[in-house]
Amino acid sequence: MNVREATREDLPGIARVHVDTWRTTYSGIVPDEYLAHLSYSDRQQRWEALFIEAAADTTKFILVAEDDGQIVGFANGGPARETDLGDSEIYAVYVTAAYQGRGHGRRLIGRLATLLRDAGFKSAVVRVLAHNPSRKFYEALGGRHVSSEEISIAGVALEEMVYAWPSLRALLQNSTHN
């Protein structure tokens, strides 16, 4: 297993992981019709825009996890969209179902937290759907539930929970020692 910063050549793999994990993770949470219409090409275009943005901003990062010669997960993060709960944000962490539970998520978070710390950030937040079973992952890493918000996906109101780490040092410690 290898975790590294993404390259432009990784974008098709990131798009594949993004679509596939949404379909498995959010089945029964997000409307099935919405999940069925997700496309690799649309997600790849979105990731190309995010890649260009991250390349121009030294405080935004996109990472990939590779295993068996393929991309099996990714994470991205940077400045918090709302700074009242933390100064940096983990925007997304996804690992394909077949590779979950093998440490890929922890390694992605650990590397991302290191990059965020090195960029001068002190704390972090992550937003996760309340019914996402993977939210326990963030709790295991010491994330504290600090607020909830209502969001809409495909016209359905969903609760999004915000977890915070007041110290990136604690997140780093929890991602490498648990």
Encode pLDDT of 89-144 as tens digits: 999 999 999 999 999 999 999 999 999 999 999 999 999 999 998 899 999 999 99
Q: What is the pTM of this model?
A: 0.94
Q: Which residue has the higher pLDDT, 174 or 79?
A: 79
| pLDDT tier, 68 (very low <50, low <70, confident <90, very high otherwise) | confident
Alpha carbon 118 to its chain centroid, in Å, reads 19
Neighbour count for residue 82 (Cβ, 10 Å): 12
Cα separation, 5 vs 64, in Å, equals 6
For 132-152, give one letter per residue: b (16+ CB within 10 A) or e: beebebbeebbbeeeeeeeee
- Reply yes or no on whether the pLDDT at 168 is more than 90: yes
Is the separation of the CB atoms in 4 and 64 below 8 Å? yes
User: Which residue in this structure is represented by tokens 């935004």?
Assistant: 60
Contacts of 153 (CB under 8 A, 6+ apart): 30, 31, 34
Q: What does pLDDT average to over the chain? A: 94
Contacts of 74 (CB under 8 A, 6+ apart): 6, 10, 14, 17, 18, 62, 63, 64, 65, 92, 93, 94, 108
Neighbour count for residue 70 (Cβ, 10 Å): 13
